[in-house]
Structure 1
Amino acid sequence: MSHKSAGTGPQHVAVLVFPFTSHPASILRFVRSISTLAPDMQFTFFNISRSNSSLFLGSCNMGFGNIKPYNVWDGLPDGYTPPSSGNPLLEQIKLFLDNALGSFEKAIKEVEAATGHKFDCLISDAFLWFSGDIAEKMHVSWVTFWISEQRSMLLHIETDLIKEKLQGQEEDKTLGFLPGFSDDFRASDIQKEIALGDAVESPLGKMLYKMGQKLPQATAVVINSFEMMDLKGSEELKKRLKRLVLVGPQHLIRPVQTENDDDEEEEEEAEDGCLQWLDKQKPASVAYISFGTVGALPPMEVGALAEALEEGGFPFIWSFRGNQEHFPQGFIERTNKLSLGKVVPWVKQEKILNHSSVGVNVTHCGWNSILESITGGVPIIGRPCFAEQFLLMRSVEIVWKIGVRIEGGVFSKTGAVKALEQALSLEQGKETRQRIEILKQLAQEAVAPNGRSAEDLKALVDIIKS
């Protein structure tokens, strides 16, 4: 319950961000979709400086209309240098989480003191489970946002049951004992932080476990998905949560344009000519390849996939942020000269996947990539790398039947050629494309003016206002 009476002024909403991988961009897009429906609300976007600078185009004084950034401490000590071994990202996440509760509480008090207004609601990334405790102290509602889909959230809520049933035997057991899951799902599809008892002692494991325990206490849990994408998962979550709100696919919901959007459009136009190059290709003939913002293939797999593309003559666009020395010698120059493909550091993935020349998405199976494949009508070749990507890959194969996992789970030249031939063959991929078209239509219907996701988003605005 808010401490502020209705009608006394604009609502002030605090947004707490998990500042790593694709989380900040996802929650900003979600908040922008709310702000479009509620232009009288004021949102403060609490995030670390380097992430805010990226999202708000380097200016911490600029925002998107009624959304203003505010920097919180990233938890890194003065003079911090990343470790030479291990995983630098995991260490930075640990340092951030160790200090996040105090950092957010301090920042919230600073903004309230500077503005003279108390916050009326708290929105947070679901990873930040302690946001529920902050909201309770503030006597305001807690709305939490999950950037993935229904089934992966269900696993986190049921972690205790999973560990009891699996007892560390994570490879060969099925997940048929879980409501909403069939025997086609295997224990090997889920994260070790869920399946193994001792994994909960890691910083990431602790965060995920506490999140699963805390989510049922939230005023509303928001998911970037739509009900028809997973009816069983939605039904099970509704039994466990106070309020389930499905507002996806978020990338189909267009917020009101601002000056910052104009700058972004200019950046998108300068994408090394990818869209112009695609205009010259045959329909559904091009492989788009990307492994997300942090996903990276091992060097041998980069080489194997590159050899398959070149020797098989498959046109491609590869969004690649790794070490180009992992490509076969001369690969980029040869394929560029022959107009066979383009290796670029970044593209607007949604635009690429909506181009008629793209015939397959070779991906790590992150949730955003899957949603954008569906709304672009593009089949998937999956090579999951970490987190819930293995679970999502299983759903791609057996639930939605809109793609295949790479043979053996890792790229070899022969396996990649086989998968690409199947995906880019219009005859072999006919049924897959038909299923994707059905999901694409359902997604579009969900976000249409009277669709379920659109109605849920309106209801969420009412929850925040109340």
Structure 2
Amino acid sequence: MGIQHVMVLPFPAQGHVNPLMSFSKRLTKHGFRVTFVNTDFIHKRVASATNLVNLEGSAVRLVSVPDGLGPLDDRNDLANLSLAILRVMPSAIEKLIRDINGGSEKISAIVVDLNMAWALEIAHNLGLKGVVFCPSSAAIFVLQDNIPKLVQDGILDKHGFPITKGKFQLSPAMPIMEEASFPWYSMGDTTVELEPGALNLCPKILPVGPVLMESGGDELKSVGRLWEEDLSCLNWLDQKPPCSVIYVAFGSFTVFDLNQLKELALGLDLTNRPFLWVVRENASSSTKIAYPDEFKGTHGKIVNWAPQQKVLGHPSIACFFSHCGWNSTMEGVANGVPFLCWPYFADQLFDRAYICDVWKVGLGFDLDERGLISRWEIKKKVDQLLGDESMRGRSKKLKEMVVRSIAEGGESHENFRKFEEWLLK
């Protein structure tokens, strides 16, 4: 049998492109060819942040299709983006597959993001194998899979909205959930040891993660990123003592109003500790990032984007101030770093529950009377976290467990091998 050719289709957002690119790298390391399909918009972002010339001759081929939106449309409006995708992408994906399969390197299987599961029908109609990749926690997948039961039990109405406020658990080993924070209301890539309760409820999930711990050749290491990384922060970290730096990064979607941004900045000052803060240009609800006049920042370094895996693996990092996106959560866990949890929306609220309540490797924040996380609350929780040696000990044990799972002979490693064998049948 010749080289197997797989198409990979992520949802067009940083937290989806990144893990699916890592997943693709793992496939190519075992002899597969991959056609990786971004939207035109995301493809241009990747091209501007990465030297794509280095990909010539690579086993990963990057192609793109339209997303249905115009150049000035807001792609952070996920509902509008999703509707536009459904209007134009199915026909574009089918045409792309037919065109490729008119040549010699025919696609035999398609791996699609959970949010792009409509593409499975195209795969079925064309006689291809189809696989859904869940880039969020298994808990979110199980929650969505149990919507009919939640409606039957009177927790949700027929439209998916909470009937009453309260808390519930789908399994004793899963985080306690609140109806008001459902991902579809407030707006995998996992391993068995991290989510045994969720995975027991959905045995058809094959855990192969964390995929972000895998790395390909030099030409592929940063292809999934949408912003250019400021590597100067690594030299800055080299000058800091071990376990001394607060790493602050809130992903690609989190937006702060100016009042909350002010409290965050002054809170970092109050800690009197070195900090590395990632601040995107569009991280504020204002048209421009504006730091408060009182903000000194003398202990810190601010960058637009950072090489997060390298940062979290640096010995100077003491803790991770995070929005709790699943990619960031897995990167923090895989590096044994304790968390300060500041979720923004969607599945991040459940990820915080895993971090704080189930794994017990992080702390959350309390809001003040203004509905803000105050500078004093920030200092209080930083001091509490960094003064808790048992928290760091649990973080290190969690890291060891995850590393064992993806190592040869580990459960995630063996599951990925089974998946590859299925592709080759």
TM over 0.5: yes
Q: Counterpart amino acid of 2:67?
A: D
Gaps of 5+ in 1: 1-6, 195-203, 205-222
Partner Cα separation in structure 2 for residue 146 and residue 344 of structure 1: 30
Provide the residue aligned with 1:197 in structure 2.
Answer: none
Matched, 1:44 2:35: yes
Percent identical among aligned pairs is 24
Provide the residue aligned with 1:364 in structure 2.
Answer: 323
* CA deviation after TM superposition for structure 1 residue 439, in Å: 0.8
Partner Cα separation in structure 2 for residue 278 and residue 419 of structure 1: 22
8 Å contact from structure 1 (residues 16, 104) kept in 2 = no
Matched, 1:251 2:212: yes
* CA deviation after TM superposition for structure 1 residue 296, in Å: 2.0
* CA deviation after TM superposition for structure 1 residue 292, in Å: 0.2
8 Å contact from structure 1 (residues 53, 59) kept in 2 = no
Look up the SS of the partner of 2:13 in the other structure.
Answer: coil
Look up the SS of the partner of 2:136 in the other structure.
Answer: coil
Provide the residue aligned with 2:111 in structure 1.
Answer: 123
Residue deviations 1:324-357 (CA, integer Å, cap 9, x gap): 63321263xx32xx3x001100111111111222
Partner Cα separation in structure 1 for residue 24 and residue 224 of structure 2: 18
- Structure 1 residues 344, 305: CA separation in 2 closer, same or farther (over 3 Å shift)? same
8 Å contact from structure 2 (residues 229, 304) kept in 1 = no
- Match for 1:277 among 236, 239, 246? 236
Gaps of 5+ in 2: none
* CA deviation after TM superposition for structure 1 residue 381, in Å: 0.9
For 1:436-455, list aligned pairs within 5 A.
436-455=395-414
Q: Counterpart amino acid of 2:251?
A: G
Provide the residue aligned with 1:397 in structure 2.
Answer: 356
Give the alignment's TM-score, normalised by structure 2.
Answer: 0.88
Q: Counterpart amino acid of 1:307?
A: L
Q: Counterpart amino acid of 2:72?
A: T
Q: Counterpart amino acid of 1:359?
A: A
- Structure 1 residues 258, 352: CA separation in 2 closer, same or farther (over 3 Å shift)? closer
Look up the SS of the partner of 1:386 in the other structure.
Answer: coil
Q: Counterpart amino acid of 1:271?
A: L
Provide the residue aligned with 2:382 in structure 1.
Answer: 420
Relative to structure 2, which stretch is displaced further, 341-350 or 320-329?
A: 320-329
Partner Cα separation in structure 2 for residue 315 and residue 430 of structure 1: 19
- Structure 1 residues 344, 262: CA separation in 2 closer, same or farther (over 3 Å shift)? closer
For 1:295-444, list aligned pairs within 5 A.
295-321=254-280, 322-323=283-284, 325-329=289-293, 331=295, 334-335=296-297, 338=298, 340-408=299-367, 410-425=372-387, 429-444=388-403
Partner Cα separation in structure 1 for residue 57 and residue 195 of structure 2: 32
Aligned length: 409
* CA deviation after TM superposition for structure 1 residue 124, in Å: 0.9
Decide which structure has greater helix share.
1
* CA deviation after TM superposition for structure 1 residue 366, in Å: 0.5
* CA deviation after TM superposition for structure 1 residue 465, in Å: 1.0
* CA deviation after TM superposition for structure 1 residue 232, in Å: 1.4
Q: Which has the higher contact order (CA 8 A, sep 6+)?
A: 2
Look up the SS of the partner of 1:127 in the other structure.
Answer: helix
* CA deviation after TM superposition for structure 1 residue 414, in Å: 1.7
Give the alignment's TM-score, normalised by structure 1.
Answer: 0.80
Partner Cα separation in structure 2 for residue 146 and residue 69 of structure 1: 21
Matched, 1:149 2:154: no
